[in-house]
Chain A
Amino acid sequence: MKKKAPHVDMTPMVDLFSLLLTFFMLTTSFRPQEAAVIDTPFSVSDKQAPDKNLITVAITKDNKVYFDMSNSGTTLDAQGKEIADTATHYRRELLKQIGEQKQINFNEKELQTFETGSSFGMPFPLLKKWLNSTEPQEKEGYMVGIPIDTADNQLGLWVRIARVLNPYAEVAIKGDGEAEYSVIKRVMDIMQENKVQKFNLVTNLQKEELEGEATIQ
């Protein structure tokens, strides 16, 4: 008797896996790298956050303020209709203008790094160091938060330039549940100084039904 290796036909499995793989590859949008772990509070709101035209201000547990702006946005076409535009380079422009205002010269490589990056939070002098460092540990060390005091309102400048660059941008506030209300209020005040009245507070969805419905009637 010849020994016959039990033969399993793997073709269907491979087919299925390939399908799944294709699906995931096409639908994936990579989770943006988080500058810090932010544990957002729960709410019943199920409105989705917009994925373009967004300025995000994150507030961490220890009250540091980070800033983020989406690179793509909306422009008007010839007929004045709003169209999605992925060729806008808001982030690059943002850094360029900050550089002009603060007399910091950002080279091409730094602009590139900034454009593909995500949220950041440091005073202007640290920006260059942060962009040029490659060590994740070192990078994290520079994330000391954007100053928001009235004396040194750097967040205000970021927001103003971002608003001018992209007037369609909405503002999302992504605060950690443990962050202090005074910091949130200060951030909102800065936004209001820049004529933002509507805020999107980023939350986790938690369904909660009115259980008192029977008792109300």
Chain B
Amino acid sequence: MAEIIESDSGAKKDGKRRSPKKMGAGVDMTPMVDLICLLITFFMLTTAFAKPKVMEITMPEKDEDTSKKSDIKVAADRTYSIILDEEDRLYWYWHKDSEVDGVAPVFSKWNKTNYGPDGIRKFLLEKNEATVKEITELKDKVTKGEIVMSNDTLNVRIKEIKRKYNTELKKSPIILIKAVEKAKYRNLVDIIDEMAICNVASYAVVDPMADELEILKNAPK
């Protein structure tokens, strides 16, 4: 194709063909190929295909007016606090019943755990069993093809299931994530990630209380 095929004008009049000396002026394409290779490499390396992924988090609105704050009642018996310390350690405790007026709030003892699948994830899955079970069943059915639905519908359904267990049945746990100042950002992302993995419907990132910091000092290392 790139060879210029000359018309057979070189044939002699007497019909004798000349020895088929190819006069094709072969264009040397090597430099071009070299250049194109270089350019391709350049574009391949500089191109940013994978856009960064993001994790969404909505923070509770901060109200300067503190008098409104105490209005929110949270069911203590399904509220758990997770405390992240500065050296990748993780503690959780249960709020039990602290809603009865005049009675000092009762908290369970602190449990040390870790970020692995045997640690905090196991705990969360246990507490959130009903929700996780229903969502897993739904996802299974979708992957097996028993139910056909688009990803968007699936996400809406998952949200509905979460809401059912959270606000109607009041069964799923409420997690308060409390990180100390010196904690690593990675730990925060890890723990929020676990919330997504374990389908926890309601969680919040809040500041640790003073007594919690006090307990943390003497907590088992």
Contact = CB atoms under 8 A, between A and B. Distances in A.
A199 interface: yes
Given A43-B53, A202-B53, A212-B117, A180 B48 contact: no
Interface string B190-208: 1011001110000000000
A31 B44 CA distance: 11
A177 B56 CA distance: 17
A interface majority secondary structure: mixed
Contacts of A216: 125, 129, 132-133, 136
B54 A212 contact: no
B54 A30 contact: no
A21 B36 contact: yes
A76 interface: no
Contacts of A44: 193, 196-197
A77 interface: no
A50 to B, nearest CB: 8
A40 B193 CA distance: 13
Interface residues of B, number: 54
A181 B1 contact: no
Interface of B: 1-2, 26, 29-30, 32-33, 36-37, 39-40, 43-44, 46-48, 51-62, 84, 117, 121-122, 125, 129, 132-133, 136, 179-190, 192-193, 196-198
Given A181-B179, A201-B56, 7 more contacts: A17-B36, A30-B46, A45-B193, A45-B196, A46-B53, A48-B54, A172-B54
Interface of A: 7, 9-11, 13-14, 17-18, 20-21, 24-25, 27-32, 40-49, 51, 59, 172, 174-185, 188-189, 192-193, 197-205, 208, 210-213, 216-217
29 contacts: A9-B1, A10-B30, A11-B2, A13-B33, A17-B37, A25-B39, A28-B43, A41-B186, A43-B53, A44-B196, A45-B56, A47-B53, A49-B52, A49-B54, A178-B184, A179-B185, A181-B180, A184-B188, A197-B59, A198-B56, A199-B59, A200-B55, A201-B189, A203-B53, A203-B193, A204-B53, A208-B197, A210-B125, A210-B198
